[in-house]
Amino acid sequence: MESKVVVITGASSGIGASLAIKLSGHGHRVALAARRKKELDEIAARCPAEQMAVVTDVTRREDMHRLRDRTLERFAGIDVWVNNAGRGVGRRVLELTDPEFDEIIDVNLRSVLYGMQAIVPYFQQRHRGHLVNVSSYLSLVPLVTYRSIYSAAKSAVNSLTENLRKDLRNSYPDIAISLVFPGAVNTDFVNKALGGTPQATYLKAQDVAEVADLMVDLIHNPRPVLFTDSAGAELAKAHFAATLGL
């Protein structure tokens, strides 16, 4: 497999960190982005291939442009961009406050828009590239109501991604657009969620390394959709069948 240059946001922990380490183990060069410098540097130090860490606030457009430009300066190209940064909140619809709403929309949705607008014009110039947007099966199934605004933000990510795919399909067939739908994953996500996380047993949590392995395969073999957990895919099918009366 030819070495790729991969940019990963939210790379200081969880899925992003595991993905960076595994891609680097395959010989890919990685640019890791997150707000926490210490944690980001620690993950970068665990990457065996060439890497760089860029402290980035994904909710700031200028930071995303700087991430792109610094990666291009270092590696002279970008092959894959992974919009992975995300945060949850433990609030049902009627409990949401304005600050919580704004925080979740910024981190989960605005960051994806900024990432797409930063990298896709570069891919268009090259007529090739791979954009990976990390969503959630909760964007398809309202299974966990205390993730209300997180689920809504991820649903909007799905819509933005599919609209971009349609815009590029005819003129840029070699730009791949992928949506990843993780299920429950063993990461610090639940501990860092605003308002905490109630006890839940809706799906057995996947090991983060398993999810990262599946995403490595996606980067090696691009396709439109990846469900990291078949149970999540089945839940989504059952939900839409019941909702639409199919």
Q: Which long-range contacts (CB under 8 A, 24 or more apart) does 163-172 make?
A: 164/116, 164/120, 164/131, 165/224, 168/120, 168/124, 172/123, 172/124, 172/127
Q: What is the mean pLDDT of each run of 10 residues along the chain (246 residues)?
A: 94 96 98 96 96 98 98 98 92 95 97 98 98 94 90 97 98 98 66 49 76 97 93 71 68
Rg (CA), the chain: 17
Distance CA 195, CA 138 (A): 18
Q: Is 200 helix (H, G, I), strand (E, B) or coil?
A: coil
What CATH topology corresponds to 5-244?
Rossmann fold (3.40.50)
Distance CA 82, CA 80 (A): 7
- Tell me the domain boundaries of the chain: 5-244
Q: So which residues are the catalytic ones?
A: 150
Going by the DSSP 8-state scheme, the letter that residue 89 receives in this structure is B
Total count of residues recorded for the chain = 246
The helix, strand and coil proportions of the chain, stated in percent and rounded to the nearest 5, come to 50, 20, 30
Distance CA 37, CA 9 (A): 13
pLDDT at 216: 98
The answer to whether 207 touches 161, Cβ cutoff 8 Å, is: no
pLDDT at 82: 98
| Sign of CA pseudo-dihedral 211, 96, 195, 200 | negative
Which residue type sits at 231?
A
